[in-house]
Amino acid sequence: MKRREVLKTLSTIPVAGGLMSIEPLVASASQRKPVIDAGLLSNPEKGALALGPQIYQSIGVEPLINCRGTLSIISGSTELYEVRKAVEYAAMVHVHIDELAMAVGKRLAEITGAEWGMVSSGCAAGLKHVTAACLTGGDPEKLVKIPDLTGFDKTEVIIPRYSRNQYDAAIRNTGAVLIEVETVEELKKAINSRTAMIYLFSGPRAYYDGPLSIEKVAPVAKEKNIPILVDAAAEILTVPNDHLNRGATIVAYSGGKALRGPQGAGLLLGNKDILFSTWQSSSPHHGPGRDNKIGKEEHMGMLAAVEAWVKTDHAAKEKTWISWLEYISKKVTAIKGVTTQITEPQGVDNRSARMSISWDPAVLNITGEEVSNELYNNSPRVALGGGRTNPADGRTSISISAQMMQPGDEKIVADRIFNILSAKHEKKTVVIEPPAVDISGQWDVSIDFYSGKGEHKLYLGKQEGHEIKGTHKSTFSLLDIAGRVEGRNVKLQSYYRENAQSIPYIFDGNVEGDTISGVLYLGEYRSANFIAKRAESGRRPMMPITIPSHGGKKSDSW
């Protein structure tokens, strides 16, 4: 029996310990009248969740206008009306999830022209599940052993160096070993009996015209029968699919970005057999993918997003984006010295109309960073990019992406920016306090993370005025560190980089005697508290260095 025929056997399934037909269950579920509104949250107490337009404010969270893009940290996209309605209706009854996945996969194939389709729990989960499918070939005994790949025939995934990124952690989560290559020759040598898959990240330009572009990788992979997984998370969906036509086996998209489907969903398109094995490794089936549950609501919401995508007039949508930016531009350029530049949508990755707004901070007495912070931290909140000053001409700027803006946002954003830039700002005089302490030497650092402690060390060289440099011994690495001392305040920064991940360590503390205490900022990983104490060895004066004498000249035999 072929794998694609296995689901036909689902006419009888184990239910509550016995076998029974699922047809009466499906029929009875479809005949039930859904409860429209139980009214349990219709009159909430203060501080409780309140259903309605102020749902976030009811629990103390202030929404924001998204002029930055589909970043997950600011909740990706807003769902389409069609998606919201599909999720609402899908939530009202029960279905068999395997049957649903097969029906959705078939319909996705019909819409997109791909051989098959699958909804995953986000794009990263899709990468993980496809990798598991390529490692196991659909063998469930192998599946439940992941990430222990002992005894597996396939254990390696080849990745061009340009494709390394933060999201390939999803692939490493399976236990697969990543093999980095930079040329076609290295690729050919790297392929062996353990090669399960080749992973390509479509964002970098090298994907299209580099030494390991998909056109150069695909013939090699096809000859060796190695599947290619393309990560196109932030891209628009192309129909027929550009990546599959270029030679990809599977292409993965985020559902909650350009497609404006459920934020917790992803879209996989491509080879039917591999996607059957991919679904096998996904929840509700047990194994390494059980922690990435995808519900009936996400299935139908994602399908609705794709159905709507292929019917959308994208050219008209992009003209609307431009009109919003033109409205903002007209408003803010009424301020003397403020200029704008609009860029029309380009390419497929993070495709959006964009606008840069720039001015001379010495004239308006405010920087792009300060404007960005003011917009983000005060209501109505606006998230945008930029906050940079160009060292070449001294002008500062902010940038707006129109992709996730909603009708009416342009008026709010224009007014907010105009009011900030047109207000009178006092010229700032920067007073740099001379250092009141010398922090050169060795420091033992105790860090209080959220649920545990860490022990780091700082080896700081000679302090030159405000500036100081040295070495930071973190949990696993020796890192270069540098910073400044102003008065008793110390700011030091280092970076940990591993497996395409980056963690900033930004120490901000004050010195009291032989102790520095303050906050350690960890970028996207938020923050921790730290206390650094000067080590006893750091107090000791440098001892003279004596060179051993060996009786004159060095021997030729040494």
Please check whether residues 88 and 225 belong to one and the same domain.
yes
Final residue of a domain: which of 389, 422, 455? 422
Mean pLDDT for the chain overall: 90
* Number of domains the chain is built from: 3
Phi and psi of 521, rounded to 5°? -90, 135
How crowded is residue 77: how many other Cβ atoms within 10 Å of its Cβ? 23
pLDDT tens digits along 319-355: 999 999 999 999 999 999 999 999 999 999 999 999 9
- Claim to verify: residue 334 and residue 467 sit in the same structural domain: no
Residue 298 counted as domain residue: yes
In this structure, of 2-11, 110-119, 209-218, 357-366, the range with the lowest mean pLDDT score is 2-11
Task: Write down which residue in 265, 291, 309 finishes a domain.
Answer: 309
List the domain range (segments joined by +) for residue 350.
318-422
* Tokens read off for 171: 């692939």
Instruction: Give the pLDDT score at 47.
Output: 83
The helix (H) or strand (E) run that includes residue 99 is helix 97-112
**Which residues in 366-449 belong to E strands, given as ranges?**
381-389, 396-401, 441-448
Find the helix packing angle between 81-90 and 296-309, rounded to 10°.
150
Q: What mean pLDDT is predicted for residues 484-489?
A: 96
Closest CA to 252 of 135, 121, 82: 121
Are 416 and 375 a contacting pair, CB within 8 Å?
yes
pLDDT at 8: 37
Given a cut of 60, whether residue 224 has pLDDT beyond it is yes
Binning pLDDT at 50, 70 and 90, where does residue 544 land? low
Least confident range from 165-169, 212-216, 430-434: namely 430-434
Residue 370: give its domain's CATH number: 3.90.1150.180
Helix 296-309 vs helix 97-112: crossing angle, to nearest 10 = 10
Same domain, 219 and 330: no
Identify whether 453 is part of a domain: yes
Phi, psi of 94 (to 5 degrees): -100, 145
pLDDT given at position 43: 76
Residues counted in the chain: 558
314 membership: H or E segment, kind and range: helix 314-332
Largest CA distance in the chain: 102
182 and 284 both lie in a single domain: yes
Model pLDDT, residue 537? 64
Evaluate whether 265 touches 239 at the Cβ level (below 8 Å).
Answer: no
Place of tokens 């520095």: 516
Residue 30 within a domain: no
pLDDT-derived band at 553 (thresholds 50, 70, 90) equals: low
**CATH for 187:** 3.40.640.10
What's the rounded Cα separation, in Å, for the pair 236 and 246?
16
Would you say 435 and 466 are in contact if contact means Cβ atoms under 8 Å apart?
Answer: yes
Closest CA to 528 of 500, 511, 551, 504: 504
CA Rg, the chain, in Å? 29
CB 121 within 8 A of CB 266: yes
Q: What is the pLDDT of residues 81-109, one digit of tens each?
A: 999 999 999 999 999 999 999 999 999 99
| In a domain? residue 434 | no
* Domain assignment present for 555: no
- DSSP per residue over 76-89, as a string? --PPPHHHHHHHHH
Domain-ending residue, one of 259, 279, 309: 309
CA distance 128 to 541: 54
Token code pair at residue 28: 């009875």
What pLDDT band is residue 412 in, cutting at 50, 70 and 90?
Answer: very high
Q: Is 2 helix (H, G, I), strand (E, B) or coil?
A: coil
Lowest-confidence pick of 34-38, 194-198, 374-378: 34-38
Q: Which residue has the higher pLDDT, 500 or 549?
A: 500
Whether 358 has a pLDDT exceeding 50, the answer reads: yes
pLDDT of 3: 37
Same domain, 503 and 359: no
Q: Are residues 204 and 126 in the same domain?
A: yes
| Residue 60, in any domain of the structure | no
pLDDT, tens digit, for every residue of 157-187?
Answer: 999 999 999 999 999 999 999 999 999 999 9
Token pair 């005994």 is found at 141
User: Is position 345 within any domain?
Assistant: yes
Q: Which of 18-27, 69-78, 477-486 has the highest mean pLDDT?
A: 477-486
How far is it, in rounded angstroms, from Cα 171 to Cα 131?
A: 6
Beta bridge partners of 409: none
The answer to whether residues 85 and 178 belong to one domain is yes
Q: 197 and 289: one domain?
A: yes
Question: 408 and 284: one domain?
Answer: no
What's the rounded mean pLDDT across residues 440-463? 96
Percent of the chain with pLDDT over 90: 82
User: pLDDT-derived band of residue 558, with 50, 70 and 90 as boundaries?
Assistant: very low
**Contact criterion met (CB below 8 Å) for 154 and 135:** yes
Q: Which residue has the higher pLDDT, 536 or 401?
A: 401
* Greater pLDDT, 5 or 210: 210
3-state DSSP assignment of residue 34: coil
pLDDT at residue 134, as a whole number: 98
Q: Are residues 136 and 155 in the same domain?
A: yes
One domain, residues 446 and 398? no
Lowest model confidence (mean pLDDT) among 2-16, 233-247, 388-402, 541-555: 2-16
pLDDT at 5 over 70: no
pTM of the model: 0.86
Determine the Cα–Cα distance for residues 457 and 454; give it in Å rounded to an integer: 10
CB 468 within 8 A of CB 485: yes
Q: Identify which has the larger pLDDT, 325 or 7.
A: 325
191 lies in a domain?
Answer: yes
Residue 500: predicted pLDDT: 86
Mean pLDDT of the region 343-370: 95
Averaged pLDDT, 55-69: 93
Cβ contacts of 206 within 8 Å, gap of 6 or more: 160, 162, 212, 213
DSSP-assigned letter for residue 247: T
User: Which pLDDT score, from 0 to 100, does residue 539 have?
Assistant: 52
**Which amino acid, one-letter code, is at 47?**
G
Query: Which pLDDT does position 12 carry in this prediction?
Result: 34
Quote the DSSP letter at residue 11. G
Q: What is the pLDDT of residue 313?
A: 97
Q: What is the CATH number for 485?
A: 2.40.128.120
Q: Please check whether residues 390 and 482 belong to one and the same domain.
A: no
Interatomic CA distance for residues 437 and 489, integer angstroms: 9
Cα distance between residue 305 and residue 265, in whole Å: 11
Q: CA 171, CA 126: separation in Å to the nearest integer?
A: 10
- How many Å apart are CA 90 and CA 92, to the nearest integer? 6
Q: List, in sequence order, every beta strand (DSSP E) within 217-285.
A: 228-231, 250-254, 266-270
Taking 80 as the threshold, does the pLDDT of residue 243 lie above it?
yes
